[in-house]
Amino acid sequence: MHDFATVFGRPPAVSADAPGRVNLIGEHTDYNGGFVLPTAIPQRTRIELAPRADDVVRAASTAKDGGAPQTFTLGAEAPGRGWLDYVQGVTRLLSTGGHALRGFDARIDSTVPLGSGLSSSASLSVALMRALRSAFGLTLDDVQIARLGQRAENEFVGAQVGIMDPMAASLADEGTALFLDARSLEFERVPLPKGADLVVLNSGVAHDHAAGDYNTRRAECERACALLGVKLLRELGPADLPRVEALPEPLRRRARHVITENERVLQAVRAMRSGDLRRLGELFYESHASMRDDYEVSVPEIDCIVELARAGGDVYGARLTGGGFGGSVVMLAHAGRGRTAAERVARDYAARSGRTPRVLVPA
């Protein structure tokens, strides 16, 4: 694939990157003001960028359009251009937010697989804003970058994602889990347990958050809040579940998932701190069952991977990670057995499903 100088006829002035993420537990809780527990993965999005003297933006992605640059003008961003909308959304929000931009050339290269449930879009937005911050001297801290990344997806791309993905891309690292309160944005880095290997397996079934299902789930939660008289489902705890049981379907199950998932995140953090890997694994399986049955965001291929992981005796727990409708499974394997467990599950899954899985972690 052509390098920056070949595409744009000059060298880049700055470069920046941001990681993808895997969410250990706490799914569909962030936009409900709840708790999440993501960690960074080795796969990253890298941006090379050079400012221009005009208001034209030329952006080239090594994964799209054969690497050919796509062009738009600052102040004239218009949605409906696929992957370029993530770039346009960032420039629109930065400009309207009072940040002085000029045009630029940008080359995007990512090892975060698209549609894998590993936050490729947030990785792109955060890496781009880091590059723009460097190129134009923008006054942006890491939390502001995350907030703008979320708004770009919500307001421009049309995906009603929560704050977890951009916060993870902006603040997480590979050695710790980012225990995040999505309501207050308070966060703490919790060391990953040393007695287990992290495994991430891409199912080969892609998803798209801008499509209807993800946004539908968010709207269902908002309707449940209206009926329960609360602003966010985060305001409710296990003691409120009898009230939730009176809701009409599917709102009853949607709200039940969010409330029980928030509790699972808190229990998972306690299990990590105490080194209780068996309990942590149980929480993974409980979370997956709730996502499959109450939130209905799993698919048969993902369920197959989880059951294969459970059958081997070398995995503490496994669950769907990310928004769902495809994507990836995160597992906690016994220490020193992560690679063999990943290869075992991938082999059996490929034979059973006819899909081509990909082991992403261990890299």
pLDDT on residue 162: 84
In this predicted model, what pLDDT tens digit does every residue of 212-239 receive, in sequence order?
A: 688 899 999 999 999 999 999 999 999 9
Question: In the predicted model, what is the mean pLDDT of residues 293-321?
Answer: 96
Q: Hey, how many other C-beta atoms are within 10 angstroms of the C-beta on 342?
A: 27
Q: What percent of the chain has pLDDT over 70?
A: 98
Closest CA to 89 of 32, 178, 161: 161
Nearest-angstrom CA–CA distance, 324 and 206? 9
Radius of gyration of the chain (CA): 20
pLDDT, one tens digit per residue, over 60-69 is 999 998 899 9
How many beta carbons lie within 10 A of that of residue 278, not counting itself? 11
Catalytic residue ranges: 165
Interatomic CA distance for residues 122 and 20, integer angstroms:
8
pLDDT at 212: 66
Superfamily of domain 193-361: GHMP kinase, C-terminal domain (3.30.70.890)
Question: Is pLDDT above 80 for 210?
Answer: no
Q: In what order do the strands lie in the sheet with 104-110?
A: 14-23, 38-51, 104-110, 56-61, 70-73
Give the CATH architecture of domain 4-188. Answer: 2-Layer Sandwich (3.30)
* DSSP code of residue 39: E
**Helices 251-274 and 277-293 meet at what angle, rounded to 10?**
170
Which is more confidently placed, 161 or 99? 99
**Mean pLDDT value across residues 41-67:** 95
The model carries a pTM of 0.90
Is 193-361 in the same CATH topology as 4-188? no
Within 13 Å, how many C-alpha atoms sit on residue 10's CB side?
10
Structural domain spans, the chain: 4-188, 193-361
